[in-house]
Amino acid sequence: EGGKRNSKTALLAKIKSIPQNEYKNYQFSHYFHLGYFEKGINNLGIVNFKHRFIIDIDVLDLCVFNPDGYSQLNIQGSKCPEQLHQSWHERFELLHKSFDDLSKNIEEIADVIGEIEDDSKRKIIEKRLPPIPSFPKLPLKTPYFDDKGGFDFGIQRMLHLKEPKSNLLLRSFNRYVSRDAESHDFAKKIV
């Protein structure tokens, strides 16, 4: 309603592209097979439920507004694509205002810390940006902000998974996170 989300965060899963002949190596419960998902390539897509990350939903929603699926926004030149539903237009306006305010806030900070060396200045400015996961195995780049109001979070939406495959993925994930814990050697039995 009004472009607002019920949640501030979402789960992000990385898709790994594998050759068909490696399929047998990914038969565990923590993997979900997407099948073919890249145009022109016969590789299969694999989601690893062990490698999931919490991400700011605003950052993820930016992917919807870019035809190439990248999580980017240019305050000066971005517009909501006409073909999107009215609720997405409202969401775009809300995000645009939010990132515009953030842009102005970063500019104010940059003016105040103008004499500090560039690396330290970058770290101070990055603290103002929405948090995104940063792990060595997840190749997300550091959030980028330029002096023209451009944001780039280094995430690309590869596809929109539709029903029934999306429901199957969600059920598989729920089964994985709600599985019974196995006893370990170091577990003490409670009587």
The pTM of the full predicted model, rounded to 2 decimals, is: 0.72
Query: Which residues lie below 8 Å from residue 166, measured CB to CB, with a gap of 6+?
Result: none
Higher pLDDT, 139 or 78: 78
Of 43-52, 88-97, 106-115, least confident by mean pLDDT is 106-115
For 144-165, write each residue's pLDDT tens digit: 666 666 888 888 887 778 888 8
Question: How is the chain classified by DSSP, letter by letter?
Answer: -TT--S-SEEEEEEEEEE-GGGGGG--STTEEEEEE-STT---EEEEEEEEEEEEEHHHHHGGGGSTT-EEEEETTT----TTS-HHHHHHHHHHHHHHHHHHHHHHHHHHHTTTS-HHHHHHHHHTTSPP----TTS-PPPPEE-TTSEEEEEEE----PPTTHHHHHHHHHHHHHTPPPPP-TTPPPP-
Distance CA(9)–CA(102), nearest Å, equals 18
Of 37-41, 54-58, 96-100, least confident by mean pLDDT is 37-41
Distance CA(35)–CA(13), nearest Å, equals 16
Nearest-CA neighbor of 45 among 11, 71, 70, 13?
Answer: 13
Q: Structure tokens of 149?
A: 């109001």
